[in-house]
Amino acid sequence: MSEHRHQVKIVTVSDGVVAGTREDRSGAALATALEEAGFEVVERSVVPDGVASVAGELARVTGAFTGLVITTGGTGFAPRDHTPEGTREVLDREAPGLAEAMRLCNPLGRLSRGIAGTRGRTIVLNTPGSPSGSVECFQAVADVLPHALELLADEPTHHP
């Protein structure tokens, strides 16, 4: 594996955070967990719930980016929870193993509709909007992400 720190962008999907009626606690918790795991958080953004807003922001942040993008929020059953649908609109390929592993980290994971996949040379992960849920989902796949990112970037890798 390479020695550089992989870059990550965090997208918080929340009408309340956009409106200023709610604090972005899950984005902050993810940023801390990612930094502690050796990732470099290079951008954080917030968008309202909805298919078009999520798809548009993911298209923007993945653009020419090589790295990881994690969304937090909008993966449940609430009427405006459309993060997976917006994500699916921009993905080139889905990565169901990552999404399944994230769902298994906690019994409440069974309520997540979050997906994972790639767009260009970026891995996109949907996590729940709760601070603990988003961090647990990231931690469930953190051990394989560096290798997956190196494969996606077409970097030399070592298979144990």
Residues 88-126: tens digit of each pLDDT: 999 999 999 999 999 999 888 888 999 999 999 999 999
Which among 99, 97, 71, 69 has a CA at the least distance from the CA of 6?
Answer: 69
Cβ contact 56:69 at 8 Å: no
pLDDT of residue 160: 57
H or E element that contains 72 = strand 66-72
pLDDT in tens, 58-93: 999 999 999 999 999 999 999 999 999 999 999 999
Q: % helix / strand / coil in the chain, to the nearest 5?
A: 45, 20, 35
Coil, strand or helix: which one is 48? coil
The answer for residues whose C-beta is within 8 angstroms of residue 143's C-beta and 6 or more apart is none
**Mean pLDDT confidence for 2-17:** 89
State the Cα–Cα distance between residues 20 and 28, nearest whole angstrom: 15
In this predicted model, which residue has the larger pLDDT, 158 or 50? 50
Mean pLDDT of the chain: 94
pLDDT of residue 1: 41
Coil, strand or helix: which one is 134? helix
For residue 138, give both structure tokens: 């990231």
Cβ contact 37:143 at 8 Å: no
- Does 7-152 carry CATH code 3.40.980.10? yes
